[in-house]
Amino acid sequence: MKCELCKKADAACAITREREDGEEEELYVCHECAKAERQRRKANSQRTRKISGLPPGVSMSVTEISHSSEDGEEGPPPIIGAIMEAFSDMVDGIEKRVHGEEKTAKQEKKLSEFSLGRITHDFRVGDRIHLEGLHLIGELEAVKRAMHALGMELSGVSADGVNDAGHAYRLFYGESSARAKRVVEDILREEENARIRLRDEMQRVFGDSACRALAVLKNCRLLSSGELFDLLSPLRLAAMDGKIEGITKDEIDSMMTSLDISSSDEQLSPDERDRADAERADEMNKRFEEVMLDDVV
């Protein structure tokens, strides 16, 4: 039979391709058309932005920079790998000590956790308040200092070596819950203002954060739960603002709330952890292959 794409050469192999309605179809094609389809998929896996206004057949993509060893396998340059291995144990020890000190400090202050269940979903990821906007405009640290001065604390996520992952926080207070409620209202107002500034005045900052996250999700080879939680955070704001195609805010929310960010992978052996991170990376590569940001971001 003839190739189902070019209708000229004889069909030599079968491929799967997504139709416009989102369903996959199997096609029998010639070698040249199969090669062209593989190249198209590779180009999509590297693109992060939807570019409009280009002539037909012209596209833009992100250039991938990588290091290859003599056996052809990708990996970090030898000197970087040696440094990473040398310091990994020391970093793990520091993180455990810091976590222990934070827990002790909470117990000494006898802080209570403020329930965030009633705030709107736009400003909440699960049972945590989402402050990605304040982080991106550079005002989150000032908010933390103000909270500390009030005898309150924003407790972030520290998982898999990522501190304040996703910029999602639980709130602890030491005085009346009424005062904590007023503080939360103030924080939500500032976060809303931050998101407006990102949309109206700081579009390049907004677009850069989302584009970097998307590039990693499309091309990473290892991905921990903490890293994924952090990368999804700016994409959540982009989806809420209608600046992303191929995934919805609800799906991103579902991904974030389903992740295990308790650092339970630390109990696994290095090989087991690498296998889990590799499977997670492959899954995200495939899911975000067709996700694009509008070129206006």
Q: Which 3-state string (H, E, C) describes 254-284?
A: HHHHHCCCCCHHHHCCHHHHHHHHHHHHHHH
Q: How confident is the model at residue 121 (pLDDT cuts 50, 70, 90)?
A: very high
Residues 171, 274 share a domain? yes
Residues 139, 270 share a domain? yes
Q: What is the mean pLDDT of residues 30-51?
A: 75
Residues 131, 246 share a domain? yes
Residues 124, 18 share a domain? no
The predicted pLDDT at position 62 comes to: 44
Q: How confident is the model at residue 63 (pLDDT cuts 50, 70, 90)?
A: very low
pLDDT at 83 over 60: no
Expressed as residue numbers, the domain containing 7 is 1-36
Q: Is residue 125 part of a domain?
A: yes
Q: Is residue 45 part of a domain?
A: no
Residues 10, 156 share a domain? no
The predicted pLDDT at position 138 comes to: 95
Q: Is residue 75 part of a domain?
A: no
* Distance separating alpha carbons of residues 130 and 90, to the nearest angstrom: 30
Residues 227, 133 share a domain? yes
pLDDT at 64 over 60: no
Q: Give the chain's mean pLDDT.
A: 82
Query: Which tens digit of pLDDT belongs to each residue from 201-228?
Result: 999 999 999 999 999 999 999 999 999 9
Residues 143, 255 share a domain? yes
Q: Is residue 83 part of a domain?
A: no
Q: Which of 19-23, 99-103, 114-118, 201-205 has the highest mean pLDDT?
A: 201-205
Percentage of the residues of the chain whose pLDDT score is greater than 70: 75
Q: What is the mean pLDDT of residues 131-144?
A: 96
Q: Residue 184: name the closest of 253, 119, 239, 107 by CA.
A: 119
DSSP 238: H
Q: Is residue 95 part of a domain?
A: no
Q: Residue 255: name the closest of 289, 278, 275, 280 by CA.
A: 280
pLDDT at 17 over 70: yes
> What letter represents residue 262's amino acid?
S
Q: Is residue 94 part of a domain?
A: no
Q: What is the mean pLDDT of residues 185-193?
A: 96
pTM check: above 0.85: no
CB 244 within 8 A of CB 238: yes
Residues 136, 15 share a domain? no
The predicted pLDDT at position 36 comes to: 83
The predicted pLDDT at position 52 comes to: 57
The predicted pLDDT at position 144 comes to: 94
Residues 116, 17 share a domain? no
pLDDT at 107 over 60: no
The predicted pLDDT at position 7 comes to: 84
Residues 262, 140 share a domain? yes
Q: Residue 232: name the closest of 221, 242, 247, 245 by CA.
A: 247
DSSP string, 180-219: HHHHHHHHHHHHHHHHHHHHHT-HHHHHHHHHHHHHHHHH
Residues 131, 13 share a domain? no
Total structural domains in the chain? 2
Q: Is residue 98 part of a domain?
A: no
Residues 289, 173 share a domain? yes
Q: Is residue 32 part of a domain?
A: yes
